[in-house]
Amino acid sequence: MVLLVVMGVSGSGKTTVGSRLAEKLGWKFYDADDYHSPANKKKMAEGIPLNDEDRIPWLCALHDILRREDSSRQNAILACSALKKMYRCVLVSGASATESNQTEQPGENAALKILFVHLDGPMEIIAGRLEKRSGHFMPPKLLKSQFDILEPPSAPENFITLSLEKSLPEIVLEIERAVFQGKTFLE
**CB of 70 closer than 8 Å to CB of 3:** yes
Q: How confident is the model at residue 126 (pLDDT cuts 50, 70, 90)?
A: confident
Is residue 41 predicted with pLDDT exceeding 60?
yes
Compare 131 and 62 and report the one with higher pLDDT: 62
pLDDT at 135: 54
The rounded percent of the chain whose pLDDT value lies above 70 is 87
pLDDT at 144: 83
pLDDT at 105: 44
CATH topology of domain 3-167+174-182: Rossmann fold (3.40.50)
pLDDT at 167: 94
Distance CA 159, CA 122 (A): 19
pLDDT tens figures, 88-101: 999 999 988 887 54
pLDDT tens figures, 142-185: 788 889 999 999 999 999 999 999 999 999 999 999 998 855 44
**In the chain, domain spans:** 3-167+174-182
The rounded percent of the chain whose pLDDT value lies above 90 is 66
pTM of the model: 0.87
SS3 37: coil
Compare 135 and 65 and report the one with higher pLDDT: 65
The chain-wide mean pLDDT, for the chain, equals: 87
Compare 60 and 137 and report the one with higher pLDDT: 60
